[in-house]
Chain A
Amino acid sequence: MNILVLLRMIPDVVEELEISNDGKTLDREFLRLIPNETDDHALEEALLLKERHGGKVTVVAPDAPELDDVLFACLAKGADRAVKISGVEPVMGGRAAARLMAQVLTTAPGLLPADLILTGVQSTEDLDGLMAPILSHLLQLPYVDNVTQVTADGPGKTVTAVKEFPSAVRAEFDVQLPAVLGIQAAEKPPRYVPVAKVRAVMKSQHLESAAAPAGVEAGQLEILQMAKPEPAEHAEMLAGDPAQVAGKICEILAARGVL
């Protein structure tokens, strides 16, 4: 099974995010980028499929700071190829990302045809649409989202994708291949790879490069402004050391009849 995993680097929301002077974009100067978490799960699901059924896993990602380390970690985990899309400006939103990915997949040698294209179900900056369904439309492939398990048990023409519904209910879907799946979570947590193994891979393997095509359209949305939300309501903060805070919480619980 030939599996492509599409990975994007996105701002780490644990860090303080700042808005540029134009008021419409993030200030990227001190932005820390990390792999989109659900993309990481997409890689894990791809590696699990490869372990069960054989095949090849290729990770494709637009260039970004720290991306090389991330891609070498993907190789150390078991990916066979890692392709960096070079010459790209940072883009926000699923639409531009999907167009970029679609153009690279159809023009760079050796990426398509693939049996499966796995990527995260969403990123926190998919303002103008989710990347996976847009990509599925552009490539004219079937699409399922919120996938938490993929099994291939037939003659290779379909897979069974398990999709999450509310209330911890899941459902199985029969999906014709090739297909694009938006992964919510892999069957197992993404595997850990020791730093020493990543370093070894850096010496023994290399990253491939694909040039970004010219003229990838930006999104159609006009952003009027970005702002840090000012909540209408905010919690009453309890101060003190842990023991003092615990005492205050006990008083609140007692007053509310919880204790």
Chain B
Amino acid sequence: MSGSIWVLAEHWRGQLSESTYELLALGREIADGLGVELQAVLLGHGAADLAKGLGKANSVLSVDHSSLCEPVPEACAAALVQLIKERRPRSVLVPLTNISMGVGTLVSTAVKVPAANFCRDVRVVDGGLQATCVLYGGKIEATVTMGAECSILGIWPGARAAENGRSDVVPPVEPVTVSLPEAPRVRFKRYIEPEAGDVDITQQDTLVAVGRGMQGQANLALAEELAEVLGGAVCGSRPVIDQGWLPLSRQVGKSGVSVKPKLYLAAGISGAPEHVEGMKNAALIIAVNTDPRAPIFNVAHYGILADALEVLPALTEAVRGKKG
């Protein structure tokens, strides 16, 4: 249907991603607000069965092509571009995850339509779309208007609750054919699984998470000591992993893992959206940071405006005292 809202149904290793359901929930709101249909676009190879999980949409456009076997951004974008040119949707919602990150930008550039990135919300205002976009590590939000023409919206994980995008309804599926290059310029070779043997932070009840505010690898001993007395483990945010202070298996967030411990103590972590995505569902979040406007305080239950290097040793001592 022309003018409908589309959601790119992201899937990986045989499963629809949580982001897909989040986007379906958001897309449903937008489509209902505009009085148009919501369509999911399923790109893959041998993945057509996943369409039955997309019942929040009115219908599914299903593309099966050998080049779409693994999520190669160029191939996904090329397929989407062909569909958009043929059918002119009102707007396309694309997840901003490691799987689909560049797809939205590639598509908007090829089709020559506006794109808004880092959207945490999209609303229908006077028949047009307005998006709220998270900039500068969550310190600034920009409200942008997309007008009435076709647009591509890159949606941050967490824009809506995933459960609101699930449905038991099996949607009608329309198989669609696209033409993709016989010899792609980017070719998937193999997956590299995480190294076994390290602590599985998804199984820990207590996590002491460290960020750039720890100032140096040597200071991670303070977090290790606290984790030990609490019976937990140490994990970290992206910059800590990139600096080589902790292995990739300890990374929480967009590229790492999502955790739901009983206690998540964030030490020197600013709370960029990419990190919050992976820890926001912890039962108890305590954050220590010197910046009163650090976004981590917006998701934490308790906050301490202080230097983590001073608070961690004091807390270790207090926990030891409490345990006797």
Name A's B-contacting residues (CB within 8 A): 11, 13-14, 16-17, 19, 26, 37, 41, 94-95, 121-122, 124-130, 132-134, 136-138, 142-146, 160, 162-176, 179, 182, 184-186, 188-189, 219-229, 231, 233-239, 242-243, 245-247, 249-250, 252-254, 256-259
Contacts and interface: CB of A to CB of B under 8 A. Distances in A.
Contacts of B306: 242, 245
- B contact patch SS: mixed
B61 interface: no
A137 B244 contact: no
A143 B206 contact: no
Contacts of B295: 229, 231
A220 B118 CA distance: 16
Given A130-B117, A249-B302, A142 B101 contact: no
Given A221-B116, A258-B230, A125 B136 contact: yes
Given A172-B190, A223-B142, A250 B105 contact: no
Contact of A168 (B17, B72, B243, B257): B257
B303 A236 contact: yes
Interface of B: 12, 17, 70, 72-74, 97-99, 101-102, 104-106, 108-110, 114-118, 130, 133-147, 154, 185-194, 205-206, 230, 238-239, 241-244, 248-249, 251, 254-257, 262-263, 270, 283-287, 291, 293, 295, 297-306, 310-311, 313-315, 317-319, 321-323
Given A189-B242, A223-B142, A258-B263, A129 B108 contact: yes
B136 A223 contact: no
Contacts of B248: 168
6 closest Cβ pairs, A-B complex: A235-B303, A142-B185, A242-B314, A231-B298, A246-B318, A168-B194
Contacts of B108: 129
B143 A224 contact: yes
B314 A243 contact: yes
Contact of B142 (A142, A186, A189, A226): A226
B192 A162 contact: yes
Contact of B263 (A19, A245, A253): A253
B297 A234 contact: yes
Given A127-B133, A167-B194, A225-B142, A258 B284 contact: yes
Contact of B185 (A175, A223, A237): A175
B318 A249 contact: yes
Contacts of B70: 171
Nearest to B195: A168
B323 A259 contact: yes
A3 B286 CA distance: 44
